[in-house]
Amino acid sequence: MNIDTNEILALPIAQKLQLVELLWDDIAKSSNPIPLPEWVEREASRRRDEMLADPSLGKSHQETWTKIANRNG
């Protein structure tokens, strides 16, 4: 890959955000799995196991959305 990162870094913030949006949209269209580091998979498994062992640690969808709505006014 031959990309001039200095040119990208010199872009105005608005153009950088457009570039990020373009990249995310392209990634989202892909059917390829997103590679995750092994530590992310281990942490996800640990959290899943923790929730299965004690479901009271979690919140319902409604509780979560209510908290978000209250935080953002």
Cα of first residue to Cα of last residue in the chain, in angstroms, is 45
Q: Per-residue pLDDT tens for 26-48?
A: 999 999 998 999 999 999 999 99
**Rounded to 5 degrees, what are φ and ψ at 19?**
-65, -45
At 50, is the pLDDT very low, low, confident or very high (cuts 50, 70, 90)?
Answer: very high
pTM for this entry: 0.51
Write down the pLDDT at residue 73: 65
- Per the structure, the complete domain to which residue 61 belongs is given by 1-73
Write down the pLDDT at residue 2: 83
CA dihedral 59, 61, 66, 68 (to 10 degrees): 90
How many domains in the chain?
A: 1
Write down the pLDDT at residue 45: 97
